[in-house]
Amino acid sequence: MRIAIDTGGTFTDCIFLRHGRLELLKVPSTPRDPSQAISDALVRLLPRSKEPLDELDLTCGTTVGTNALLEHRGGRVALVTTAGFEDVIAIGRQARPRLYDFFVEKAEPLAPRERRFGFHERVDYAGRALLNPTSSELVRVVRQVARSRPDAVAVCLLFSFANPTHERALAKALRAAGMAVSVSHEILPEFREFERTATTVVNAYLVPVMSRFLADIERHAARARGVHPGTKVQVRIMQSSGGIVRAGVASREPVRTILSGPAGGILGAQYVAQRAGFDRVITLDMGGTSTDVALLEGALRTTNESQVADLPVAVPMLDIQTVGAGGGSLARFDRAGALRVGPESAGADPGPICYGRGERPTVTDAHLFLGRIGAEGFLGGEFKLDEQRARKWMAKSAGPMRSIEKFAQGIVDVANAVMEKAIRVISVERGYDPRDYALVAFGGAGGLHACELAAALEMPRVLIPKFPGGLSALGILRADVAKDLSQTVRLAVENRHALRAPLAQAFARLERQALREMSGEGFASRSVRIERCLDMRYSGQAYELVVPAGGDFIGAFHRAHERRYGYADPSRQTEIVNVRIRAIGATPKPELPRERRSRTSVTSAIVNFRPGIFSGRAYRTPVYDRAKLGAGHRFRGPAIVTEYSATTVLPPGWMGRVDIFGNLILTPDGEKRARN
């Protein structure tokens, strides 16, 4: 049995294959112990299997690493670095997070000063050893670190990316003393000491949390019903880059799982969009706590310049913009009387007011009050909502707003503004016109906001996929095993022919390592696909752009530079800073089946009518059961489409149709004038 689980802030989504068909299950998340929700899902799934399982393949996406960083719940970390550079992690870069705030205070490093230790060694920029550490120096540092009683140790020496010999010796000594060690040349063998140190420290900080969490998942899977001593149990984890790895690997390198869940959503959105015939899309993944947006144009976009909790994380991640606007985002008035929504969230506990425990209004409560969500709630009626309770507490929290209706509409409008800004960051600010793209909206709350966001951005159409509340889990189920490796090389591009030998050597080293690691994942070298990339820049620049290594990579760099910055200078000398490879092992991929054209009337899918409020006006709004909508059905807004995992809202002036894969395609009146 193949199962993919995405642990969110409010619900844990599970997509699984049974008798060749995809099915979806959602269970409430358990924030105090996220693995418990996974156990709950397995309990509900596996008893249905009449025979003992031969194999259980469980793949998980999780926000445990992200939450540990945001909430400062990681391990006690010690940092060992080259003597004299202990404060690199505190000094950071000169860029200020808020340019005009003279009183901004930087967060304390995850490894405080009393747990940062200098190691007397020195390697120069070319990898030549200038000062070799003595055995007594190794003993001294190991003893100092041990006295600080760390849960994990980060080791990051100054030029270890050029020559890791000293790092290897130090890491070996620390591991021999029984410590969990994260080493920079294993995590990120690239130049820029601050980003490399910060990434290695983040990895060490997350090791205690993620190793416990992943061990719990493996234990739950091994003890699940239907699993017997002969059952082959395999647990893999989604990485931020869009590939999956064994749980044991993720335990050692948890920094690669920080955007685990959102990455699955991007893969799922790419799949359904391509099946529907859309190659240029912007994704909108709105869950209970946050919203993730990304721009897709053919291949997936990755970045090595991410920041999480104001900390640089330089491992490859899918290029995702995250904002604190979700169904559980809390509404409040600031000291100036302005309405704010998020980034704080009610989460799964206590949750929105209408869930029965919360007392602070959320986006979900606003939608319930506006008639866009019914009191019958979610999960096919399993999760009912308390409408009267929501009305009572919304009235208490309305503050300066003149009516509860305007308060609720204001909450929705502010949440839309936050998400619209995020979409503009990944499109307009990077030279892409959102009017040329379709909006793929998913997550439990994505369909509630999709049409209004598309209208604000003049986007021509919206795609609401099948299983919108479980699309991230579907993406995880379809993910390939992947390894991302890199190495700093610093090669001036003067003569392409002169570059062949050094580039071939650099790629060959990385590929040998990747094939060894892929062998541990169960893939023979002949079945592994290798992708090569280069980090390039003009000589004298401070930052790079990633381009494919094949073909005319110099021309590709000039074109990428012009797209990103508005100009290119083909006469200027360029240089290759890093080489990168991605090793991919393909996995079996479930497909969404084609549906036959429905012969029933679309009106047969209407289950009731509800007074929906749009732009301050109440409409008698039909509510459609998505399970009864078939391929070829068309309907007009205002309309509400309910299903097990999500709700979709069509405002007045919008039209909807169902395509042959069961997707909802939503378009505004005047689509013929759209540019897409």
What whole-number distance in Å separates Cα of residue 44 and Cα of residue 27?
9
Sign of CA dihedral 359, 363, 369, 374: negative
Higher-pLDDT residue of 153 and 319 is 153
CB 238 within 8 A of CB 479: yes
Nearby residues of 4 by Cβ (< 8 Å), 6 or more positions away: 14, 15, 16, 58, 59, 60, 61, 264, 473, 474, 476, 477
The stretch 495-508 carries a mean pLDDT of 88
Residue 640: predicted pLDDT = 95
The stretch 191-206 carries a mean pLDDT of 96
Residue 675: predicted pLDDT = 41
Q: What is the pLDDT of residues 256-274, one digit of tens each?
A: 999 888 899 999 999 999 9
- Give the Å distances, CA to CA, from 640 to 374, 386, 467, 628: 10, 19, 16, 13
**Which pLDDT band holds residue 401 (cuts at 50, 70, 90)?**
confident
Number of H helices, E strands in the chain: 16, 34
Residue 47: predicted pLDDT = 65
**Which pLDDT band holds residue 674 (cuts at 50, 70, 90)?**
very low
Residue 100: predicted pLDDT = 85
Q: What is the pLDDT of residues 344-381, one digit of tens each?
A: 888 767 888 888 888 899 999 999 999 998 877 667 66
**Which pLDDT band holds residue 60 (cuts at 50, 70, 90)?**
very high
CB 58 within 8 A of CB 226: no
Residue 624: predicted pLDDT = 95
Name residue, tokens 């079996």: 588
Q: What does the block give as tokens for 405?
A: 């209706």
Phi-psi region of 19 (alpha: psi -120 to 50; beta: other; left: phi over 0): left
Q: Is it the case that residue 521 has pLDDT exceeding 90?
A: yes
The DSSP 8-state label assigned to residue 179 in this structure reads: -
The DSSP line for 635-657 is EESSEEEE-SS-EEEE-TTEEEE
| CA quadruple 287, 247, 156, 110: dihedral, nearest 10 | 40
Residue 592: predicted pLDDT = 87
The DSSP 8-state label assigned to residue 575 in this structure reads: E
Which of 284, 322, 325 is CA-nearest to residue 413?
A: 325
The stretch 155-184 carries a mean pLDDT of 97
Q: Is it the case that residue 75 has pLDDT exceeding 50?
A: yes
Residue 377: predicted pLDDT = 65
- Give the Å distances, CA to CA, from 109 to 106, 287, 311, 320, 492: 9, 30, 9, 25, 35
Q: Is it the case that residue 676 has pLDDT exceeding 60?
A: no
Query: How many alpha carbons fall within 13 Å on the CB side of residue 172?
Result: 7
Residue type, 22: L
Q: Are strands 545-548 and 528-538 parallel, antiparallel or unpaired?
A: antiparallel
Residue 672: predicted pLDDT = 43
Residue 549: predicted pLDDT = 93
Residue 70: predicted pLDDT = 77
Residue type, 153: V
Angle (CA) 572-577-579 rounded to 5° is 125
Residue type, 140: R
Residue 290: predicted pLDDT = 84
Higher-pLDDT residue of 53 and 574 is 574
Angle (CA) 316-319-323 rounded to 5° is 120
Residue type, 148: S
CB 664 within 8 A of CB 273: no
Which of the listed ranges 13-17, 176-180, 370-374 does the model predict with the highest average pLDDT? 176-180
The stretch 213-237 carries a mean pLDDT of 90
Q: Is it the case that residue 673 has pLDDT exceeding 60?
A: no
Q: What does the block give as tokens for 129?
A: 């050893």
Nearby residues of 397 by Cβ (< 8 Å), 6 or more positions away: 331, 360, 361, 407
The stretch 297-317 carries a mean pLDDT of 85
Q: What is the pLDDT of residues 522-545, one digit of tens each?
A: 999 999 999 999 999 999 998 899
Q: Are strands 634-636 and 654-658 parallel, antiparallel or unpaired?
A: antiparallel
**Which pLDDT band holds residue 444 (cuts at 50, 70, 90)?**
confident
Higher-pLDDT residue of 315 and 675 is 315
Q: Is it the case that residue 671 has pLDDT exceeding 70?
A: no
Residue 395: predicted pLDDT = 86
What whole-number distance in Å separates Cα of residue 260 and Cα of residue 75?
20
Nearby residues of 525 by Cβ (< 8 Å), 6 or more positions away: 515, 518, 519
Cis peptide before 208 (omega within 30 of 0): no
Any alpha helices (H) in 370-465, and if so which ranges? Answer: 387-397, 404-426, 446-456
The stretch 650-664 carries a mean pLDDT of 95
What whole-number distance in Å separates Cα of residue 676 and Cα of residue 673?
9
The stretch 120-129 carries a mean pLDDT of 95
What whole-number distance in Å separates Cα of residue 73 and Cα of residue 340?
27
Q: Is it the case that residue 48 has pLDDT exceeding 70?
A: no
The DSSP line for 259-301 is THHHHHHHHHHHHHHHHHT-SEEEEEEE-SS-EEEEEEESBPP
- Give the Å distances, CA to CA, from 62 to 185, 427, 481: 26, 27, 16
Which of 1, 43, 392, 365 is CA-nearest to residue 225?
A: 43
Q: What is the pLDDT of residues 580-621, one digit of tens each?
A: 999 999 999 988 888 889 889 999 999 999 999 998 899 999
Residue 458: predicted pLDDT = 95
Q: Compute how many other C-beta atoms are within 10 angstroms of the C-beta atom of residue 628.
A: 14
The stretch 331-337 carries a mean pLDDT of 88
**Which pLDDT band holds residue 49 (cuts at 50, 70, 90)?**
low
CB 341 within 8 A of CB 445: no
Q: Strand order in 152-156's β-sheet?
A: 116-119, 77-82, 152-156, 181-183
CB 163 within 8 A of CB 189: no
Residue 105: predicted pLDDT = 79
Name residue, tokens 């685990």: 260
